[in-house]
Homo-oligomer: A and B are copies of this chain.
């Protein structure tokens, strides 16, 4: 079982507060929050690690929040290599109103990295990709936003590094970064419906996905809410697979996409090439993530959920 390398260029300390009734303009006394090393690539690594796969999470960290980030990640047991940087790690604050039931989220945008810090982050990726023996890499997964001022070609460069090392690359980001990753030949992109439309300008989901494959992506996995998850592959241009549950699950959708990436990464890391199998596992793990209160975990019901999936082949219209 080869190692899954995740890269999270803009990680965050996720702080979740439970507040018994949020009153705007008031002062609230709260207990200490749940504090977790967050960011999409960290969630990917956590889920794959939870399911017994070998992982290595790579990320920069800095300042007081970075110390908190590193301490929690160490306690979590997820193998990692962190790159020290000057700018403090950003925070993401979730205020869970235990009376009203709503969760309000405040995401800091992140601090820029210096050019030598970008080089140091790339260097730990190169190190991980060149490891031999039991640490040999099976797949590279790069996830999430980039901090302000990031090199525009950072994710495309990671795709090329993975391919130079002979392994597939997954990119899960939003905005123009999706197009750049497609052009670099990413093996898997995983936009949701909104991200796909925003990046490609195509209101039609299938048209958007085929656009990414036209640019160079090998497989595109699109999460489309109640419509399930769709998988497009460059080798089967006549249609695509769709997977969905008989009934929609209610729960916490945060981190569901990251669980899908983790699932796809475990398939690709083992040399899997079956798009239908990849879609099944990704859909089941994504659904199992919805059942959990926090991102980066999936319910043990993932196997049972996979059995329930309705898989269909859809011809292009």
- Chain A residues at the B interface, C-beta cutoff of 8 Å: 13, 15, 17, 19, 22-33, 63-69, 71, 88, 90-91, 93, 95, 97, 100, 102-109, 111
Contacts and interface: CB of A to CB of B under 8 A. Distances in A.
In the A-B complex, the 3 residue pairs with the closest CB atoms: A64-B68, A25-B102, A64-B67
A64 B74 CA distance: 13
B26 A107 contact: no
Given A68-B88, A93-B93, A30 B104 contact: no
B107 A30 contact: yes
Given A71-B63, A71-B64, A90 B32 contact: yes
- The quantity of this chain's copies bound in the complex is 2
A13 B64 CA distance: 10
Contacts of A69: 64
Contacts of A108: 30-33
Given A27-B107, A29-B109, 17 more contacts: A13-B64, A15-B91, A17-B93, A22-B24, A23-B104, A24-B97, A28-B104, A30-B109, A32-B108, A32-B109, A32-B111, A33-B108, A63-B68, A64-B66, A64-B68, A67-B67, A68-B88
28 contacts: A13-B64, A17-B93, A19-B106, A22-B24, A24-B97, A24-B100, A24-B102, A25-B104, A26-B105, A27-B107, A28-B104, A28-B107, A29-B109, A31-B109, A32-B90, A32-B109, A32-B111, A33-B91, A33-B108, A63-B67, A63-B71, A64-B64, A64-B66, A64-B67, A64-B71, A65-B68, A68-B88, A95-B106
